[in-house]
């Protein structure tokens, strides 16, 4: 089993919170798609022998490509890889410029899951974040996607936004959960270095919400999703049973994946590699038959740290049998010794042979995870 991630780094406007690799441009789609296809051919061996269980078009804004272009990329991948019959094929959609025809066309290409970047149902929040769409546009797209026949729809929301407040967050959740969606990704706003929000914060023009408010908003998220049948399978991700994102779950379960496109990461169990973060250099080198990437071989401590960082964020937590098998007695003892205090404080619990965060623990997950990280020099 393996996944394929395709990074389409073009955006029409800069969202003030975003630090994902993207460029504001109308570059030549044909040249870029030719490079993606060529890269897929050149790197097919990377996941050779594995059936592809998920394809994910992420961005940037994958919907800058028309559905026929998305279809040609998928057809090309089908020629070079073996797709599982149930392959999950996701595309991230920004609500601007998505028509009913686009949605119907996408279904015909084999895309069977959409992830819609709603972020908030309040125009004030969307304006603050410099989103390109209004809440009404997002509503249209969501309704049209349901009508078009998409059965697996995910919505992205952001909370912890200055000025939003608990009541508006409650309304955002109620509205989102009133639709027949199967998945919700809800992220607490992070003010990332280098973003416009960070500059605004430094100038005193944007004030982050305080910790108590963050906690209240997260608690409300847990309550409302639970009462509507969603399972919090990863700190920011909620799915109805049978609708957890296969793609993301693979990341968290160390399943190999091939990343195509500028800045895309790949993982094969032994090493990670990441493509050059530059559209022009990427298309130039791939189209001339060369790959431009950096690579890191994963030593045992890096593997341990990655395992702890990802697994502790999920409902499956740290699997002690797996830790003993892969990281041997040293790793096992390390985890057991460290987890004791978190269990005593009610921040972690042991379910069968798995160590998971409690809801209280999820609130300070970053702090807990950082204590589990092994330093390169020793345990």
Ligand X SMILES: C[S@@+](CC[C@H](N)C(=O)[O-])C[C@H]1O[C@@H](n2cnc3c(N)ncnc32)[C@H](O)[C@@H]1O
Decide whether 59 or 317 has the Cβ nearer to ligand SF4: 59
- Contacts with ligand SF4: how many residues (CB under 6 A)? 11
92 touches ligand X by CB under 6 A = yes
Question: Which CA distances in Å does 141 have to 61, 100, 118, 322, 378?
Answer: 15, 8, 10, 43, 52
259 touches ligand X by CB under 6 A = no
Please, what is the minimum distance in Å from the beta carbon of residue 300 to ligand SF4? 34
Cα 349–chain centre separation = 26
331 binds, among ligand X, ligand SF4, none (CB under 5 to 8 A by kind): none
Q: Footprint of ligand SF4 on residues 75-114 (CB under 6 A)?
A: 94
3-state secondary structure of 166: helix
14 binds, among ligand X, ligand SF4, none (CB under 5 to 8 A by kind): ligand SF4
Q: Which residue has the tokens 């195509």?
A: 260
Tell me how far apart the terminal alpha carbons of the chain are, to the nearest angstrom: 32
Q: Footprint of ligand SF4 on residues 149-178 (CB under 6 A)?
A: none
List of residues 6+ apart from 174 with CB closer than 8 A: 224
Q: Which of 8, 114, 155, 158 binds ligand X (CB under 6 A)?
A: 158
Binding range to ligand X, per CB under 6 A, among 56-64, 139-147, 245-253, 349-357 = 56-64
361 touches ligand SF4 by CB under 6 A = no
Decide whether 13 or 79 has the Cβ nearer to ligand X: 13
Name the E strands within the chain.
2-8, 10-11, 23-24, 52-59, 83-93, 113-119, 153-159, 183-188, 231-234, 237-239, 257-260, 265-267, 271-275, 293-297, 318-319, 348-351, 354-357
Beta-sheet pairing, 113-119 with 153-159: parallel
- Contacts with ligand X: how many residues (CB under 6 A)? 16
18 touches ligand X by CB under 6 A = yes
59 touches ligand SF4 by CB under 6 A = yes
Please, what is the minimum distance in Å from the beta carbon of residue 60 to ligand SF4? 5
Q: Which residue has the tokens 């020099």?
A: 377
20 touches ligand SF4 by CB under 6 A = yes
Q: Using CB atoms within 10 A of its CB, is residue 90 exposed (0-12), middle (13-18) or buried (19+)? A: buried
Q: Which of 53, 54, 90, 94 binds ligand X (CB under 6 A)?
A: 94
3-state secondary structure of 300: helix
Beta-sheet pairing, 348-351 with 231-234: unpaired
Q: Are 35 and 283 in contact (CB under 8 A)?
A: yes
Binding range to ligand SF4, per CB under 6 A, among 15-23, 64-72, 134-142, 206-214 = 15-23
Interacting residues with ligand X (CB under 6 A): 17-18, 20, 58-59, 61, 92, 94, 117, 119, 156, 158, 187, 189-190, 192
Interacting residues with ligand SF4 (CB under 6 A): 11, 14-15, 18, 20, 22, 59-61, 94, 117
């Amino acid at each position: 089993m393996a996944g394929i991630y395709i990074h389409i780094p073009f955006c029409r406007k800069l969202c003030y919170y975003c630090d994902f690799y993207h460029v504001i441009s109308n570059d030549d789609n044909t040249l870029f798609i030719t490079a993606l296809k060529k890269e897929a051919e050149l790197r097919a061996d990377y996941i050779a022998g594995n059936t592809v269980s998920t394809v994910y078009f992420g961005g940037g804004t994958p919907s800058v490509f028309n559905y026929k272009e998305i279809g040609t990329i998928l057809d090309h991948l089908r020629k070079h890889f073996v797709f599982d019959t149930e392959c999950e094929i996701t595309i991230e959609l920004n609500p601007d410029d998505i028509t009913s025809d686009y949605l119907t066309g996408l279904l015909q290409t084999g895309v069977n899951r959409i992830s819609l970047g709603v972020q908030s149902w309040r125009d004030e929040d969307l304006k603050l974040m410099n989103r390109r769409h209004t809440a009404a546009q997002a509503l249209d797209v969501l309704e049209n996607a349901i009508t078009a026949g998409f059965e697996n729809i995910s919505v992205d929301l952001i909370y912890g936004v200055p000025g939003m407040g608990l009541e508006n967050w409650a309304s955002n959740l109620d509205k989102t959960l009133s639709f027949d969606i199967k998945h919700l990704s809800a992220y607490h706003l992070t003010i990332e270095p280098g973003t416009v929000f960070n500059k605004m914060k430094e100038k005193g023009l944007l004030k982050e919400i305080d910790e108590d408010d963050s906690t209240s908003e997260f608690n409300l998220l847990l309550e409302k999703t639970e009462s509507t049948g969603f399972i919090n399978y990863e700190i920011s991700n909620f799915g109805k049973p049978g609708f957890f994102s296969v793609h993301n779950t693979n990341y968290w379960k160390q399943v190999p994946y091939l990343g195509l496109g500028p800045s895309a990461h790949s993982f094969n169990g032994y090493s990670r590699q990441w493509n050059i973060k530059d559209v022009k250099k990427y298309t130039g080198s791939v189209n001339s038959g060369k790959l431009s990437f950096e690579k890191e071989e994963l030593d045992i401590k890096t593997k341990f740290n990655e395992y702890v960082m990802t697994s502790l964020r999920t409902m499956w937590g740290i699997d002690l049998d797996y830790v003993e098998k892969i990281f041997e007695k040293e790793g096992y003892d390390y985890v057991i010794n460290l987890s004791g205090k978190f269990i005593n404080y009610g921040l972690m619990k042991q379910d069968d042979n798995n160590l998971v965060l409690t809801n209280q623990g999820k609130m300070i997950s970053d702090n807990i995870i950082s204590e589990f990280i092994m330093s390169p020099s020793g345990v």
